[in-house]
Amino acid sequence: MKTPTLLLAVLFAGFVQYAVAQSSPVQKIFPKGTITHANIAYANDTLPRHLLDIYLPPNTTKPLPLVVWIHGGAWLSNDKYADIGYMTNTVKGFIDSGYALASIDYRYSTQAAFPAQIQDCNRAIEYLYQHASEYHIDQNNIAVIGFSAGGHLASLLALSNNNQVKDFYPADTDVHFKIKLALDFYGPSDLIVLSGSPDPAVNNLDNPIAVLIGASPVERPDLAKRASPVTYVDKGDPPFLIVQGENDKSVPNTQSKMLHSWLDLNGVTNKLIIVPNAPHYGEMFDAEYIRKDLFGFLAKYLR
């Protein structure tokens, strides 16, 4: 099976099966005494995909740096509990190290085509910014972390944050927050390159990228470019930590290498970690040496 075809099989099928198994309430994963604010409606509506959760260290009284968690699932599945189940030590580390953690939902691509997903992410973070004092959040210290499709959205958030892309924001929302750090775990960075295959399975309208942008990326490269994080790289972007598996069969690690190169060319601080023998997702990404770099970046750039 060719790599592009596996984008469909692994991103959608295998990843969903793993995430569903982990999609029960995740409170037990967090350290004892963690304060939880669940199912907050961030868009002033009743859509179930417009909810977020906030987790705070016990006895929180002062504003804390915020990490915003964005789940994966090919832009068309999973929820704000996804990925937490195999990143347990990292999740515990956020709370133990004195960070606030917010996990957000966003509309599926089957419900609304891009840019709905990035609009939702921007709206959710703006909500957290505006309600920072209520939840003991330091509104001036915000990082994003994302996995797979969530890594794509986290990167896109961070890279477009200083570009004022009008349709990335809901019409009724002014964005005031700044993202100070991006933590990208195996997110697609260039949808045109990822889709550039003669394989019919990649170019039909049922593949995740086509569903996301509402058209075949080969036929509408303008839409694929608009949705690609690398489009927005410039010297004003925040630092990046990029992590991807050596044996990723759904998002080739050249996607992360390309983002790393674009950031280097623009003088943006970043580090790329290719995890030996690792697939697209799983417990290998919760390793101690990765956590060391991740929390090192947080300590340096969120303060």
For the record, the structure tokens of 99 come out as 């960070």
- List, for residues 269-295, the tens digit of each pLDDT value: 999 999 999 999 999 999 999 999 999
Residue 18 has pLDDT above 50, yes or no: no
| CA 296 – CA 301 distance, rounded (Å) | 9
What's the pTM value of the predicted model, to 2 decimals? 0.91
- List, for residues 85-139, the tens digit of each pLDDT value: 999 999 999 999 999 999 999 999 999 999 999 999 999 999 999 999 999 999 9
User: CATH no. for residue 70?
Assistant: 3.40.50.1820
Domain count, the chain: 1
Positions of E strands within 127-203: 137-147, 179-185
What b/e readout covers 264-294, taking b as 16+ CB neighbours within 10 angstroms? eeeebebebbbbeebbbbeeebbeeebbeeb
Residue 13 has pLDDT above 80, yes or no: no
Nearest to 150 by CA among 177, 186, 181, 126: 186
Range of the domain at 266: 3-301
Q: Is 11 exposed, middle or buried (0-12, 13-18, 19+ CB in 10 A)?
A: buried
Q: What is the DSSP letter of 161?
A: T
- List, for residues 66-99, the tens digit of each pLDDT value: 999 999 999 999 999 999 999 999 999 999 999 9
The dihedrals phi and psi of 164, each to the nearest 5 degrees, come to 55, 50
Beta carbons of 157 and 233 less than 8 angstroms apart: no
Residue 192 has pLDDT above 80, yes or no: yes
